[in-house]
Amino acid sequence: MSKKTKIGIIICDRYRNCAGGKCFKALKNREGAFDIYKENEDVELVGYTNCGGCPGGNIEYAPEEMKKNGAEVIHLATGFVVGYPPCPYIDDFKNVINEKFKIKVVIGTHPIPQKYLDIHDKIGTWKSEDWQEKIRPTMADKKTRIDYN
């Protein structure tokens, strides 16, 4: 019997009405930041919510609820990095979840859609080494990025 990994997903509040289609597709296909899970690894989603809006009030308690449901990893959705502007609190969110709740945090869920990569390349959002590290888990080949447009 394979180990079951339980995860939570927190999305940016500006996408609060998102039904999660791209995230769930990527989880099923092990694409984007979900490629860290083996194809045959049993992954269970135990929580899905938004950050609560700037500056992230839901970050203070949502991870605790997810942890009670067994979450071992929390993914901060790709929307945090592709939005205009990218979330200025993403490092704070990652740090507080790590420190307060002792849960691993992964930045990203589904692959970055090509249309977002194009605009961020034009405006220079992700040129720094820090941003390159943040988007690395959600980069994919061009065909996959186009599939997520």
Distance CA 145, CA 43 (A): 23
pLDDT value, residue 106 = 98
pLDDT value, residue 41 = 86
Mean pLDDT (whole number) for 64-87: 96
Name which residue leads in pLDDT, 9 or 84. 9
CA dihedral of 56, 61, 67, 69, whole degrees rounded to 10? -110
Mean pLDDT (whole number) for 75-85: 95
Residue-wise burial string across 23-43, b where 16 or more C-beta atoms lie within 10 A, e elsewhere: bbbbbeebbbbbeeeeeeeeb
136: left (phi over 0), alpha (psi -120 to 50) or beta: alpha
Tell me the pTM. Answer: 0.94
Cis peptide before 85 (omega within 30 of 0): yes
Q: In the structure, what pLDDT confidence band is assigned to residue 2 with cuts at 50, 70 and 90?
A: low
Domains of the chain: 4-147 (3.40.50)
Mean pLDDT (whole number) for 98-108: 97
pLDDT value, residue 39 = 83
User: What are the tens digits of pLDDT across the range 3-62?
Assistant: 789 999 999 999 999 999 999 999 999 999 999 998 888 999 999 999 999 999 999 999
